[in-house]
Amino acid sequence: MLASGGDEVIEVWEVESGRSLAVVPYGGSSARIDEFVLSPDGSRLLSSDSEGRIILWDVAPGGSGDREFLDLHDSEVTALAFHPDGSLVVSGDEKGAIELHVLETADDG
């Protein structure tokens, strides 16, 4: 489960145990977080904001916590989704633009 509030973090929770798995800080910007979604395997988190930024976060247990900025839109992102196998991201913005982005995997390295 994902949750966000006024504390400028997105938190990943394990529903069965009620345990927090990852805390992702997104503060430092005046932009509002509009969308966030967890990858099918739970290792990555996508967030988007009111300034059109999309950020891909590594939230895997024991992962790096790194983030990657995806420069796909020039207006507010209103929709985000992962492909069921986690290899693609689709996003949409307030102007009606839809973008597909192929994600790198550990196998690509």
Q: How far apart are CA 6 and CA 32, in angstroms?
A: 10
Express each pLDDT in 45-94 by its tens digit. 898 877 788 889 888 877 777 888 888 888 888 899 999 999 999 999 99
pLDDT tens by residue, 26-43: 666 666 777 889 999 988
Beta carbons of 46 and 34 less than 8 angstroms apart: no
pLDDT tier at 95, thresholds 50, 70, 90: very high
Q: Which domains does the chain have, with CATH numbers?
A: 2-108 (2.130.10.10)
Nearest to 59, CA basis, from 39, 33, 76: 39
